[in-house]
Chain A
């Protein structure tokens, strides 16, 4: 790399590693996994915290402000692994059944990259259930809010809470409690689609984000989850099996509306509270704000409009609504 290299690169794309946090391009985790698509003559650069793929001669990073995120393969490594305190990181990865040692022939940079990837993954996961943790959930929720505001897609958020979980712990012990959490988490994962996001939200509380879930289906989906869990028999010891129930509160992100994740969670949480106070083992859904106007409503709404035309030649069409082209309903565009 000459110090006078001209900034002459074509931007191929911007990508970050972890889907849940792809929009937060400043997140350090963005630098991970990038090398996977670092083909010949393609450089991964960091500019203002963003990772940029570029093709062309690598620019002089002193003058352009662009720094290579990964050193070129043939460059001598400046990293000396023995100088770093990697024991804790290795222990964490080993505990998660990951290969924590440097492989033979693996460069220091590649190995560090693998450690960072592994840690990033760990930081988003709940160790007990294997589901996403709260951090993962927040990132997915923020992303959903953006999608909904942009596309009007209907996204359902469910908050689920195991009923009387404390008494399970008190009666059968905390190991049994853990088993219940674990089995319910696995059952939940089987109940939903691969595109849905499941996370452990708190102690005995889970959250599910379901994109493209039509408003009419929401309650049925939540009810199915409730019934499946209620039918689940969880063996906590050779002789004892527990049947736990859950309460579910659900809310749709308001379509086309720029809202916040907090307001959304609040609405679902309010419904969960309602489900609990109405006796548990039930589903309560936030009343979906009816923003769509049906063809029938529109027909009646427009039936008189001909009157406002300056020179109407045909007589008014009485009560027959005019044809409404296109969809049966129209979303209100914000």
Chain B
């Protein structure tokens, strides 16, 4: 198992964890909770699946997972059973309505919400064994900047930062980016602005974040932090409806403005990060 891919094998803090991002693993994170991380993860997964990618969404919010709620799934076997050795990884992977796979954390994961070396090793082992089987692994991380979130993000090759145009969300997104730059020497963070009310505001917000980072965050000269605006998801009543009905918006109303925006996000990702499916 320890084939050199395993940065957790050497007993180190996440702060000095050698960053060895795994290809095709995208971390969806936000700092603040309730800005639509899980919504974006699930619908983006459906959009990518529709374009022919084999996609898995990994519920990396070990403490407070709610991907099962969003997807209206009632798994019998979860990541918790894999962690405790009660089930094999294959048995915990479910098919979600949108044509992608999910690995749900399960409520029992609260006990794993602290990052211990066992959790790190097991987490890494799971992600390592998922990577070869899928074109894209989307990690839906928890809110905040906990050790588990930072560790999950450290395994990802790309960071998708979800924010809304609200001061609280921007503050937390900014603080998270600062930590990612300081701790993991991240150079690129891709920004998705959710619930925008006018075209162009996402780009403006990204520029603003970049400006503040440039001014206040000291980076080493050879690795500056660059924010890339990936796209906006406009405020759309269809989103709320889908969430309340516990349906996947990309299935029920893919043509609505938010649905189109997510399709657009998938196509941008395809052009920049993920290779087109064979």
Bound complex: CA A294 to CA B175 (Å)? 10
**Cβ contact of A301, chosen from B113, B116, B146, B174, cutoff 8 A:** B174
Instruction: Map CB proximity to A onto B113-138 as digits: 1 under 8 Å, 0 otherwise.
Output: 11111000000000000000000000
The total of Cβ contacts below 8 Å across the A-B interface reads 108
Mark the stretch among B50-58, B96-104, B195-203 that contacts chain A: B195-203
Q: Is the CB of A332 within 8 A of B145?
A: yes
CB contact list, A74-97 vs B, under 8 A: none
Q: Is the CB of A290 within 8 A of B145?
A: no
| Interface flag for A14 (CB, 8 Å) | no
**Chain A residue with the shortest CB-CB distance to B147:** A259
| Interface flag for B243 (CB, 8 Å) | no
Bound complex: CA A305 to CA B143 (Å)? 23
Most buried by A among B16, B116, B211, B216: B216
Q: Is the CB of A291 within 8 A of B179?
A: yes
Write out the residue numbers on chain B whose beta carbons fall within 8 Å of the beta carbon of A263. 13-14, 115, 147
Bound complex: CA A334 to CA B115 (Å)? 15
Number of residues of chain B lying within 8 A (CB) of chain A? 44
Most buried by B among A290, A303, A333: A333
Instruction: Map CB proximity to A onto B6-45 as digits: 1 under 8 Å, 0 otherwise.
Output: 0000011111100000000000000110000000000000
**Cβ contact of B116, chosen from A260, A270, A297, cutoff 8 A:** A260
CB contact list, B202-225 vs A, under 8 A: 204-205, 208-209, 211-212, 215-216
Q: Is the CB of A334 within 8 A of B143?
A: yes
| Interface flag for B171 (CB, 8 Å) | yes
**Cβ contact of A259, chosen from B114, B183, B204, B212, cutoff 8 A:** B114
Decide: A258 near B146, CB < 8 A? Known: A290-B182, A300-B211.
Answer: yes
| Interface flag for B170 (CB, 8 Å) | yes
Decide: A289 near B179, CB < 8 A? Known: A259-B114, A308-B196.
Answer: yes
Write out the residue numbers on chain B whose beta carbons fall within 8 Å of the beta carbon of A330. 171
Q: Is the CB of A267 within 8 A of B13?
A: yes
**Chain A residue with the shortest CB-CB distance to B14:** A263
Q: Is the CB of A310 within 8 A of B198?
A: yes
Bound complex: CA A302 to CA B208 (Å)? 8
Q: Is the CB of A332 within 8 A of B208?
A: no
Q: Is the CB of A293 within 8 A of B171?
A: yes
Question: Nearest 7 pairs between A and B by C-beta?
Answer: A334-B144, A332-B175, A308-B201, A308-B165, A300-B212, A304-B208, A263-B13
